[in-house]
Structure 1
């Protein structure tokens, strides 16, 4: 039910949006950011030629915004060339892009979320958006002295003038990278051949050559510069999974992107040419792309112009998608056979089942399962379906592709009649429903007025929450605190997570703790509390929704897609930044008290968000320590918890160190198993770090694919964090700088408690007996 003040709020919102756009237009005429004059979040920076603009933009239909460059002329049809580490922000009013010394910073409410990694010092620096679309940080008054440039960190796209290989000016080795749900790809220069490159997909390399007109080679092939062809004013190099294309804009038939050059050059020679859910037919020698039954081209204009890698999308949603990602038995979802295939599609996942019917049920039980096969054991495909090719002759393969929930048998109701029936029912019942909801809204709002709250949190009525969650039908998870449900806010497409707290006394305590901590703070690495509901004994909290769930599901589970080292490293850095903000940048120091992988959520871009502040403690700046009652989870508790000593923010540092080891190794630190001659993984890790053998600590599933320097640095940070004495541990601000490589580290000592374990005393603070005795005191 829309509250009575909604028209006024809507008017003010529209006024603020229009005003913001006018303000942005008014201040975006400059192409430079100077010290002391930051670019606000609702502003854009425009190149002198007016071709490019830089700002905080939203990919797709998400709620997060990221710093990027796009082509002004194309408006919503332009790709965005992302800058930085894809740091997501929501509140543009609190975000700024500013220059300080020789570095560029993204800041939110004064907290630094990202900075350029300039190494050279400068008396005064400026940030400039060049006519090529390259954002550079250079010395003021000396345009030839460049400290940092966005072209050295191009993501999956390269603009003309951009480099693959060694950038001689900054000594950076530049490559393109693609990151999907569980697939990685890269494109790098290959100096062994003229204009050569290496296209990698999940570690498998394919070598190719750029045409002479497309690139210019420098340094005996050490670097390749993408040429600008004057005939085409808008073009760029685009990396997709298993394919790279030179894209140009075509105004033909309403406009669309055309592949001027592609490698591989056809669907017969490239398994990813037809994109997601696209199949290469055997109708012609060169092959043609079409969508499998139940799917249509994602971008029909581009398909018509001959660019297929954008793939196909479902014509109708899955039943579980309509239920917010949860399966309910899947009675309405169906499977269609796609046969006469040349082998099976890319990247199947093996499932151990007894029968073919069990295989179908296994796929149906996972909303992200899109197809299955029973030809050589049960194989499932998650999220995407690539490399579908129809064979010219036997042997053939076949798979079963999952179709949308509104696909019906001929004898059933059609979607059209269902929609008409629903609309008719709604029209008849609307007057009565509006009256009931209005009464309940006013009653719930009156009840919630008894709770005082600071900040900009929204007070929801219980009726609104119930409607948003479909009467609490879509459960995401459950724990000792209560249950979490997925929902969509009324009158909006914003997906939220609603925490329904249980237990009167404990629920009230946790409710107030979360509102008083998360409700007052904003940071890209802290889960955002949107609002709450108080209704009688009910206590509900409304959070932003994190589609990738919690960190533990990705680093400990075999079923989730394997996280690459780079993603793990960025997750670790994000957690550290969030904790540093809590400890050092809030008005009062906030100790989380329960840092563990289950309390780290991941958004669509795998940006980490610290959550679950029910055990948190606000500590005034004039106090150094507090808390004596044990809070938290066994295995992540600092020694001072066990010994009953006062707790400081260094307890969170210890927990972070344990989590860091788990991110590195992909295993629980508390697992009681043999690691060499040790039974406790952090003990084993501390010894290996001191011996200089850090690769043995890396998750074996990564097969050694990691930046060894970063890995060694991260392992050292973890060892410093888990020192016995809190004074020996770094602050979280220092941890951030250590992970970023800004400060050098000495070799961390092996903690004394670990030395006892090494020497054979297995009755340390982490033994089960010690824990039980301590918690009984």
Structure 2
């Protein structure tokens, strides 16, 4: 039975139900559904109860334009999505569903509907549900239909106007004509476009304060734009913005969020050229955002895009049509075979600033930096100017400049001609032999040292120092920066002029465990909000760690010291968001989920510009992605410990969220978690703060030294976020990614309840008792 016959029989049954008893009609419908369920879902636009979609099967819309199935953008993992059925392009367009949950073995994955709920299941495990809701009266069961608009809807099987769920309410990074963005009061959600392209995150949301206005967020930077009149229409009293249908019915158009650009595209296919032509885009020039030119594309001084030498447009047809975000591809593939790479480099010496997200590598010379890049197959470029930076996979946001000062990088391209490659192989081989001899001589010279003096790579590039080197670098450990339970930290200078912080651990035992934990965690990660581990020393009885130097010390010295400079509210708010970004990276973006376990102001360090970085990973817990919880001994600091630490329950990344919430109150108030109250007793400050947030009185929580110079709206959001973070049950706490979205205003923040444990503490006390002593 094909899709049209199925719908015809179903329609007849629906008509019959108006004239027959409910029981008789339901019996006929169930017989039809059972019959239809025995046939392949790929022949229809409808998924009935009892049917499933799996493997390469698809649903096809009645007009034949759209199909739904499990598709693979990169050839490995599959995702549930909708795409244009008959458009052949090297850069296919997919409208992702199912929260973009990756499916490793799509042949064992199924999509099915049960009552009114959609499910994705793989090998018996449910990966996603649609969380469908009731909407008006209906029969209680539903079908899922791929409409001619590309909207995939779950609707009542007898009354098609009763919609339980629809894909237009949950767009990913693209939307079709008829789709909408903004605050949908019916579902109580702010509909956004989001794009995740590590290490970047891009979000587009409607700006309710401006007509047709939108805000594009790219990793903390926001761009304000406006949609043209012809493209969108206001709905629901201006809270929703709907994308207009094409003026010509057969035209294929849609809106797409790229990294740093939003475009409205039309498919053009004729005898001379085919591809996606931009009818409108923002920004319209790469001079506003060089993300406009895509990977390995460079924005010239005239505002046009071109490819770096050794590269060509990935989609030449689309570049001719003015659509550049597909970027550029290598003309010659990289040589990742064998011990010695024959790849060459081309110099880019007129750049306006360096590309984003460099990775720092220990290298004493430009030649060592070049060799480090060649040793990594995915290294795309390097730069050396007092220190070594390399970039992996791709370069984005490149802009050339006609005016000095210039910055320069060396871009890796494919191998040179065979004769030159042979010469290069000979030179590199001879050089490696020479280096090996030099290293052997150094080993003999320093064999009496407590540590081996050499450079090595260990989960990334880390320098291995001798104890004598670090003793000399710190002037015999004379300039102490601070001291903790595991040891002392000293200021030092290595490699001529690089200032570092050297942590000297006390003895072995617990400090030995802390040493290995820090090397395993910090040594393998790089993030702008995490303190960078540069190297280490292992001797018979000595354990030392070498970190980048943070000249402004720890956050607690600026919050709680009367003699320190007063951090402004804007600076505190940016510090909070930056810390949240660092934690979100640890929890969600590393190979293993890393739980820091000791988030507090003492472990937040500030650089020369007062930019924060998370430090001290000695108590961190690595959690494999196949595990969501871990049983472990108590780690952390009293006052910042989540309740599950005390009760002995399994620990998740939400333990860090609790500590973050306590610290957020400290940043807001400039007070320790335990404050001296009016009657001389010591009480938990978050208890007082939670009560005031619940009463709506947040100004009384603000640090007196700020003298009321604050954005009340941001203060209210920060206090609410802090209260959500310190909820007793970790299920009620947000993730750090959700915390970022709340702080940045992407999602609204509801008024949180007072944690139950706090309410128990408050019973029997007058509210005045919780007034903080001035």
Q: The TM-score by the shorter chain falls in which range? A: 0.5 to 0.7
Structure 1 residues 685, 147: closer, same or farther in 2, change over 3 A? farther
Pairing 1:747–2:748 present: no
1:312 aligned to which of 328, 344, 359: 328
Whole-angstrom CA distance in 2 between matches of 1:666 and 1:305 = 52
**2:354–2:407 CA contact under 8 A, matched in 1:** no
2:117 aligned to which of 78, 83, 103: 103
The TM-score normalised by the length of structure 1 is 0.53
**2:344–2:412 CA contact under 8 A, matched in 1:** yes
Q: Give the C-alpha shift of residue 344 in structure 1.
A: 1.1
**1:349–1:380 CA contact under 8 A, matched in 2:** yes
Report Cα offsets for 1:721-749 as digits up to 9, x if no partner. Answer: 99xxxxxxxxxxxxxxxxxx9xx999354
Structure 1 residues 475, 51: closer, same or farther in 2, change over 3 A? farther
The TM-score normalised by the length of structure 2 is 0.54
Name the structure 2 match of 1:250. 268
2:622 aligned to which of 586, 598, 603: 598
Q: Give the C-alpha shift of residue 353 in structure 1.
A: 6.8
Whole-angstrom CA distance in 2 between matches of 1:100 and 1:188 = 33
2:79 aligned to which of 66, 73, 79: 66
Whole-angstrom CA distance in 1 between matches of 2:220 and 2:213 = 18
Report Cα offsets for 1:84-121 as digits up to 9, x if no partner. Answer: 21112233343222223432221223322111233437
Name the structure 1 match of 2:439. none
Name the structure 1 match of 2:476. none
Whole-angstrom CA distance in 2 between matches of 1:98 and 1:88 = 17
* Aligned Cα root-mean-square deviation (Å): 5.4
> 1:292-371 alignment to 2 at 5 Å?
292-318=308-334, 332-341=342-351, 343-349=352-358, 351=360, 357=366, 360=369, 364=373, 369-371=379-381
Whole-angstrom CA distance in 2 between matches of 1:556 and 1:565 = 5
**1:551–1:600 CA contact under 8 A, matched in 2:** no
Q: Give the C-alpha shift of residue 334 in structure 1.
A: 4.0
Name the structure 2 match of 1:406. 415
Q: Give the C-alpha shift of residue 243 in structure 1.
A: 0.9
**1:360–1:372 CA contact under 8 A, matched in 2:** yes
Whole-angstrom CA distance in 2 between matches of 1:374 and 1:551 = 21
**2:382–2:409 CA contact under 8 A, matched in 1:** yes
Structure 1 residues 664, 475: closer, same or farther in 2, change over 3 A? farther
**1:267–1:274 CA contact under 8 A, matched in 2:** yes
Q: Gapped runs of 5+ residues in structure 1?
A: 1-22, 416-473, 478-547, 577-594, 602-608, 617-630, 637-649, 668-673, 697-702, 723-740, 753-777
Name the structure 2 match of 1:455. none
SS at match of 1:193: coil
Report Cα offsets for 1:514-555 as digits up to 9, x if no partner. Answer: xxxxxxxxxxxxxxxxxxxxxxxxxxxxxxxxxx99998879
> 1:478-627 alignment to 2 at 5 Å?
558=531, 571=588, 598-601=622-625, 609-610=626-627
Pairing 1:291–2:304 present: no
Pairing 1:267–2:303 present: no
Whole-angstrom CA distance in 1 between matches of 2:118 and 2:186 = 18
Q: Give the C-alpha shift of residue 363 in structure 1.
A: 6.1
Name the structure 2 match of 1:186. 203
Name the structure 2 match of 1:3. none
Q: Give the C-alpha shift of residue 83 in structure 1.
A: 0.7
Q: Give the C-alpha shift of residue 676 in structure 1.
A: 4.9
**1:102–1:125 CA contact under 8 A, matched in 2:** yes
SS at match of 1:213: coil
Structure 1 residues 376, 185: closer, same or farther in 2, change over 3 A? farther
Report Cα offsets for 1:344-370 as digits up to 9, x if no partner. Answer: 144254859786638835962766553
Whole-angstrom CA distance in 2 between matches of 1:708 and 1:35 = 46
Structure 1 residues 103, 564: closer, same or farther in 2, change over 3 A? farther
Whole-angstrom CA distance in 2 between matches of 1:26 and 1:382 = 44
Whole-angstrom CA distance in 1 between matches of 2:112 and 2:586 = 25
Q: Give the C-alpha shift of residue 267 in structure 1.
A: 2.6
1:394 aligned to which of 381, 384, 403: 403
Whole-angstrom CA distance in 2 between matches of 1:333 and 1:688 = 63
**1:359–1:372 CA contact under 8 A, matched in 2:** no
**1:164–1:189 CA contact under 8 A, matched in 2:** yes
Name the structure 1 match of 2:727. 716
SS at match of 1:28: helix
Q: Give the C-alpha shift of residue 255 in structure 1.
A: 2.6
Name the structure 1 match of 2:49. 35
**1:215–1:225 CA contact under 8 A, matched in 2:** yes
Report Cα offsets for 1:306-342 as digits up to 9, x if no partner. Answer: 21111112334445x558xxxx7x764543211223x
SS at match of 1:272: helix
Whole-angstrom CA distance in 1 between matches of 2:523 and 2:112 = 32
Whole-angstrom CA distance in 2 between matches of 1:656 and 1:60 = 30
2:165 aligned to which of 148, 155, 163: 148
Whole-angstrom CA distance in 1 between matches of 2:177 and 2:584 = 28
Whole-angstrom CA distance in 1 between matches of 2:411 and 2:101 = 34
Q: Give the C-alpha shift of residue 280 in structure 1.
A: 2.3
Report Cα offsets for 1:236-290 as digits up to 9, x if no partner. Answer: 11111111111121214463222221111123343222111101234xx5x4322
Whole-angstrom CA distance in 2 between matches of 1:106 and 1:154 = 17
**1:54–1:69 CA contact under 8 A, matched in 2:** yes
Q: Give the C-alpha shift of residue 389 in structure 1.
A: 2.5
Whole-angstrom CA distance in 2 between matches of 1:565 and 1:149 = 34
Q: Give the C-alpha shift of residue 398 in structure 1.
A: 3.0
Whole-angstrom CA distance in 2 between matches of 1:704 and 1:44 = 49
Pairing 1:215–2:232 present: yes
SS at match of 2:291: coil
Structure 1 residues 352, 54: closer, same or farther in 2, change over 3 A? closer
Q: Give the C-alpha shift of residue 187 in structure 1.
A: 1.6
Whole-angstrom CA distance in 2 between matches of 1:705 and 1:350 = 37
SS at match of 1:35: coil
- Greater RCO (CA < 8 Å, at least 6 residues apart): 1
Q: Give the C-alpha shift of residue 156 in structure 1.
A: 0.9
Whole-angstrom CA distance in 1 between matches of 2:528 and 2:125 = 28
Pairing 1:89–2:119 present: no
Aligned residues: 505
Q: Give the C-alpha shift of residue 69 in structure 1.
A: 0.4
Q: Give the C-alpha shift of residue 194 in structure 1.
A: 3.0
SS at match of 2:100: coil
Q: Give the C-alpha shift of residue 375 in structure 1.
A: 6.0
SS at match of 1:138: strand
